[in-house]
Each structure stands twice: as C-alpha cells, then as structure tokens.
Amino acid sequence: MIRKWLALVVLSLMAATAAYAHHSFAAEFDGTKPVKVVGKVVKVEWANPHIWLYIDGKDEISGRTAVWGFSGGAPATLTRRGINRDFLKTGDVVTMQGFLAKDGSPNASGGSVTFPNGRSVFTNSPEDKVPGK
Amino acid sequence: MKKSFVILFVGMAVIAAITITVTAQSGAKPVPRLANGKPDFTGVWDHPRVGDVAADVAGTCAGETPGCSNKGAGPLPFTPLGKTENERKDKFDYGARCLPWGYVRSYGTPYPHAYVHHPDRLAIMWEQDTRYHMVPTDGRKLPANLEPSWMGKSIGHWEGDTLVIETSGFNGRTWLDTAQHPHSDQLRLTERISRPEYGKINYEISIEDPKYYAKPMKNSRVFVLMAQGQELFEYSCNENNRCEDGKCTPSDVQK
C-alpha cells in the first residue's frame, strides 16, 4: 500500500516536472502513463524539433504491440552530448521508456534507450526524466 | 619630501609587479573591446534554462555548460486581470505550433544563443527556432507608435561598460516562460548586460507590465561562454513537428 502510494507521488511529481519541461509535453503526452517497449528499431528520424525513434515491439506495461514512436531531444542537444544520428541502427534490439501520447496513438515522449548489453543512452532534454532512470 | 616620493614610487612598482604576475598566472584573457572602446559581447553563450521566471536556477546551462544561474523574481505580483489570464484553463502552448517563443521566453530556452556585436548594433541569435533580433545602439529612439510584434522592438545605450536595452511593442501573444506566465501588449523590458570576465556575462532583466503585474519583476542571470569551436545548430521547428494540438501524425512505418 505504502509502495503504491509512493509510486503515485513519484509519478505525480514526474508529471508536474515534465509539464514545465517541454514546450509541448503537457499538450501532447500524459505524464501519468509510462510505457516500456522492448523491440527492434525500424526507423530513426533525426530532425527538428525532436528526433523520433520507431520501435516494433510490445509495451511491457499495457501489453500492446505496435510500431511505437518515441520523441526525443533536438538533434543539437544530442549532438552536443556526443550522440549522433548513427547511435541507433535499423534492426537494433532496444528497450525504450517514455510517456504515452494523449491521443492514445502508439507514440510517447521517450527518455532512455537501453541496449541488450545494458548500455543506456538518455535521448531527451535533461529535464524530461523517465521513472526508473 | 623626496624620501616619501621614493617610498610611494617603490610601493606602486611593487603593486604593479604583483598585479602583472597574478594576471599572467591566472591566464585570464582580457574582455575584448569594440572599436568604440565598449565591451564586445560577440560569442556563443550558454544561458540558464529558465522555465519559470519566478524560480531560481543554478548549475548547468541550457546547452549543458557548467556555471549558469538565474535569481528568479519570486512570487509574481499579478493584477486581478493578470491573475485571471494566468489561471485560464484553455491555454495552449503556441510553441508547439512552431510560433515564435517571444523575447523573454527565448532567453530561457533549452538551447544557447549567440551575440554578434558591432559599435552600432547588437545582433542576438537564439538557436531555438533559428530566431534573431537586432538592437540598434546608434542613438536612435524607439518610434512612438510601434507595430505590435512577437519579439518587440529594441534600442540600446551604454551606461559605462553596461549595455542597457529597452524593448516594447509586443503583441501580447507570447508567454514569459514555459510555466505559461502571461504578459500583455503593455510589456516593457529593460535589460542590463555586462561582461565582467572574458567567459562570463551578467544579464539582468526588468519586466514591467502594469496590465498584468502590479510591480516590475527582475531576473539576474549568468551566461557562460561556450567552449572554442562550439557553434549554434540549425533549428527548423516545422521540419518534423509530429505531435500538435494533442494529436500525433503517424510516420510511414506506423501506417
């Protein structure tokens, strides 16, 4: 019970932070609905205002299978962090975490990419944190 | 008389020697100067990410350079009209539609900005939306009846080594920050910018808007010069703005 309550508090705080963090987060994504998709990379859109990563896989939280779109940071933010357009390739198997789009489509504001060897890359703005990271 | 003159002369020489030694040891570069002798702000500057003008920020800059800060305004002094506007439930972030972020909000964006400085003008270039703004410093006055605009109209003048920029003529369609604090078309800004060290800018902004705020609000910020070789990136907001107005457009691989 206490753990559930704590989880709710943490999620609410995350949502509040995210609402302030991003110019469109509050309008487009639901900070109370985390997703965690394991699957294969099918496409990378390295473009402004946000990169988008597409993963064909299953959301471990809802059980939904789809080609999921994950919005990340701007190419400039990631390039300054040493992450370039080749960091993910089609066919790579990854775990992506983020928050579900408000329109219910299989899209999310993405935060972290975890590779099978455990290496994790944070692909969003520093302020757009994801639970568990 | 002669003896005291010698003591004074030797004393001054010792102080000068110490000053030169300390400066040489610290390797501090002098602040560059314009042809008119005033400080030159030219460079790519990292600013603090100010998502809320009321709040303090300390530590990492928007572009992840260390050393930026903001001393926020504290609780905002809304007028009754300003309070109503601030609490509206139907606000939508115009930035999500790739419209201009506005002058105050541009300085708090998650990306750096650059200055190109000339004795007669300061060009401000924000990476966010690849937006620019010109500040004439040639002595001209602001026109009496300004056409309302997203970024306002500015003029600047020097007070010693501090550049003072006054800006007005806003259309009232932007916010002060991503926390959605509103401003009206009566917004007037006074910024005071100085470069006390080669790698540091002190930036102070006074925000006056008698329609929405009962008294002026102030932010005091520190900007940090980005490492040699760092440049602004292109930021074309419309390029791939896939989620807008609460709806996401599917990519071809999702159809």
ipTM: 0.75
C-alpha span between B108 and B53 (Å, rounded): 9
The tens digit of pLDDT for each residue in A31-80 reads: 899 999 999 999 999 999 889 999 999 999 999 999 999 998 899 988 98
**Do residues B205 and B195 touch, judged by C-beta distance below 8 A?**
no
Q: What is the pLDDT of residue A128?
A: 55
User: Cβ of B248 and A125 within 8 Å?
Assistant: no
What value does the mean pLDDT of chain A take?
79
B99 in contact with A, Cβ within 8 Å:
no
- Could you tell me which of B178, B170, B125, B123 has the C-alpha nearest to residue B150? B170
The three-state secondary structure class of B162 is strand
Distance (Å) from the alpha carbon of B80 to chain A's nearest alpha carbon: 24
Distance CA(A30)–CA(A23), nearest Å, equals 14
pLDDT tens per residue, chain B (255 residues)? 455 555 555 555 555 555 444 444 456 899 999 999 999 999 999 999 999 999 999 999 999 899 999 999 999 999 999 999 999 998 888 988 889 999 999 999 999 999 999 999 999 999 999 999 999 999 999 998 999 999 999 999 999 999 999 999 999 999 999 999 999 999 999 999 999 999 999 999 999 999 999 999 999 999 999 999 999 999 998 888 888 778 899 999 999
User: How far apart (Å, rounded) are the C-alpha atoms in residues B88 and B212?
Assistant: 13
Query: CA-nearest residue of chain A to B91?
Result: A27
What is the pLDDT, as a whole number, of residue B8?
Answer: 53
Q: Are B111 and B46 in contact (CB under 8 A)?
A: no
Note if the bond before B77 is cis, omega within 30 degrees: no
* For residue A111, pLDDT beyond 80: no
Tell me: pLDDT of A9 over 80.
Answer: no
Whole-number pLDDT of residue B246: 81
In this prediction, residue B177 carries a pLDDT of 95
Binned at pLDDT 50, 70 and 90, residue A28 comes out as confident
Alpha-helical runs (H) found in A22-57: 25-28
Across the A/B interface, how many CB contacts are shorter than 8 Å?
Answer: 108
Residue B21: per-residue pLDDT: 46
Question: What pTM was computed for the model?
Answer: 0.82
Burial status of residue B19 (CB atoms within 10 A of its CB: 0-12, 13-18, 19 or more): exposed
Residue A82 clears pLDDT 80, i.e. is over it: yes
What number of other Cβ atoms are within 10 A of residue A64's Cβ? 14
CA A108, B61, B151 angle in degrees (round to 5)? 80
Looking only at the bridges linking them, the beta strands covering B188-197 and A107-114 are unpaired
**B111 in contact with A, Cβ within 8 Å:** yes
Output the six-digit token pair for B118: 């000339």
For residue A101, list chain B residues with Cβ-Cβ distance below 8 A.
243, 248
A18 has pLDDT over 50: no
> What distances in angstroms separate CA B133 from CA B52, B114, B197, B221, B223, one per listed residue?
22, 11, 24, 19, 18
Q: Is the pLDDT of residue A121 over 50?
A: yes
The C-alpha atoms of residue B179 and residue B192 are separated, in whole angstroms, by 24
User: What does the alpha-carbon distance between residue B166 and residue B190 come to, in Å, rounded to a whole number?
Assistant: 5
CA distance B79 to B67: 35
Residue B226, pLDDT score: 97
Q: Select the residue of A23, A52, A74 nearest B251 (Cβ to Cβ).
A: A52
**Residue B255 forms contact with A (CB below 8 Å):** no
Taken as a whole, chain B contains a residue count of: 255
Pairing between β-strand B131-136 and β-strand B121-126 as defined by DSSP bridges: antiparallel
Find residues 22-81 of chain B whose CB sits inside 8 Å of chain A.
49, 51-52, 60, 63-64
Q: What is the phi-psi region of residue B43: left when phi exceeds 0, alpha when psi lies from -120 to 50, beta otherwise?
A: left
Residue in A90, A74, A86 with CA at minimum distance from that of residue A123: A74
| pLDDT confidence band for A17 (50 / 70 / 90) | very low
Q: Do A69 and B248 touch (CB under 8 A)?
A: yes
